[in-house]
């Protein structure tokens, strides 16, 4: 019997967040035949290049998210909420709940709790509650309840306060190369003058790989209540 294929749902505050912070791992899983879905709660259009129209850049960001996902054989969803205006309320929690029930992920990846960016922190809180709502049949929605068994918080230079790597997930050169090719479809990753995104995350993947005694890796935090290692003896 063949091994069960996983569905991985990466949820970011903006197009490009999970593609950078968890993209190597998602690329690795895509090469194994797993299903990859990305959800951006906003497009991230307020990072528009100087002299460009913000609405046109939003449309570009949506296409960049789609291009990344399709190169991993996956799907991209982008909400129409304006960048910087993500609301921390139950309406948003149920919208994300509905996506979780539709996609039926085994794994959800999102932002760590602390960030220099309000949309990242808001996304963290929304996703935690949306996962809970999605799992309870007593919240009656269009789709039946679904429990995503694993929840991970990705390593992001903007979400660094109190972040401590807990889980290391390694991947090989093929996955790394696929990630570089896919994430380079995002203008801000290769064209931003404010931060060298591609260079930073390429080096971070190698550093985390060295720490794990592997080629490349990305790290994740988990909910505090799941931070336990079970053993039957001290070996």
- Sheet containing strand 75-81, strands side by side: 75-81, 35-42, 7-12, 107-110, 150-154, 216-221, 167-171
Give 131-146 pLDDT, tens digit per residue. 999 999 999 999 999 9
Residue 24, pLDDT > 80, answer yes
CB within 8 A of 107, min separation 6: which ones?
Answer: 6, 7, 8, 9, 148, 149, 150, 151, 152
Contact 98, 79 (CB under 8 A): no
Give 65-122 pLDDT, tens digit per residue. 999 999 999 999 999 999 999 999 999 999 999 999 999 999 999 999 999 999 999 9
Q: What is the largest CA-CA distance in the chain?
A: 63
The two structure tokens encoding residue 122: 């808001």
Please give the pLDDT value at position 169. 98
Band (pLDDT 50/70/90 cuts) for residue 235 is confident
Task: Give the DSSP H or E segment for 235.
Answer: none
Residues composing the chain: 235
Band (pLDDT 50/70/90 cuts) for residue 40 is very high
Band (pLDDT 50/70/90 cuts) for residue 149 is very high
What is the Cα–Cα distance from 57 to 75, expressed in whole angstroms? 20
* CA 77 to mean position of chain CA atoms: 12
Closest residue by Cα to residue 218 from 156, 160, 127: 156
The two structure tokens encoding residue 11: 């949820």
As a whole-number percent, the residues of the chain with pLDDT over 70 amount to 99
Closest residue by Cα to residue 62 from 187, 166, 199, 196: 187
What is the Cα–Cα distance from 116 to 107, expressed in whole angstroms? 25
What is the Cα–Cα distance from 125 to 202, expressed in whole angstroms? 28
pTM: 0.96
Domains of the chain with CATH codes: 7-226 (3.40.50.10320)
Say whether 188 sits in a helix, a strand or coil.
helix
Please give the pLDDT value at position 1. 44
Contact 24, 205 (CB under 8 A): yes
CB within 8 A of 142, min separation 6: which ones?
Answer: 98, 101
Please give the pLDDT value at position 108. 98
Closest residue by Cα to residue 14 from 138, 105, 101, 115: 115
Give 152-208 pLDDT, tens digit per residue. 999 999 999 999 999 999 999 999 999 999 999 999 999 999 999 999 999 999 999
Please give the pLDDT value at position 26. 98
Q: What is the DSSP string of 81-118?
A: EPTT----SHHHHHHHHHHHHHH--SEEEE--S--SSH
């Amino acid at each position: 019997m063949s091994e069960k294929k996983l569905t991985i749902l990466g949820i970011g505050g903006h197009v490009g967040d999970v593609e950078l912070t968890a993209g190597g791992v998602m690329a690795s899983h895509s090469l194994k035949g797993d299903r990859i879905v990305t959800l951006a709660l906003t497009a991230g259009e307020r990072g528009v290049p100087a002299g460009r129209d913000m609405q046109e850049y939003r449309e570009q960001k949506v296409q960049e998210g789609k291009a990344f996902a399709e190169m991993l054989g996956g799907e991209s969803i982008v909400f129409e909420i304006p960048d910087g205006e993500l609301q921390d309320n139950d309406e948003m929690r149920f919208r994300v709940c509905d996506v979780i029930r539709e996609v039926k992920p085994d794994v959800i990846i999102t932002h760590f709790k602390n960030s220099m960016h309000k949309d990242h922190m808001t996304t963290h809180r929304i996703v935690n509650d949306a996962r809970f709502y999605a799992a309870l049949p007593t919240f009656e929605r269009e789709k039946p309840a679904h429990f995503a068994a694993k929840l991970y918080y990705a390593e992001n230079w903007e979400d660094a306060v109190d972040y401590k790597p807990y889980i290391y997930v390694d991947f090989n050169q093929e996955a790394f190369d696929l990630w570089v090719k896919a994430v380079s479809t995002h203008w801000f990753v290769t064209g931003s003058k404010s931060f060298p995104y591609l260079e930073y995350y390429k080096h971070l993947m190698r550093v985390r790989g060295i720490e794990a005694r592997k080629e490349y890796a990305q790290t994740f935090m988990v909910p505090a209540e799941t931070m336990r290692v079970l053993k039957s003896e001290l070996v």
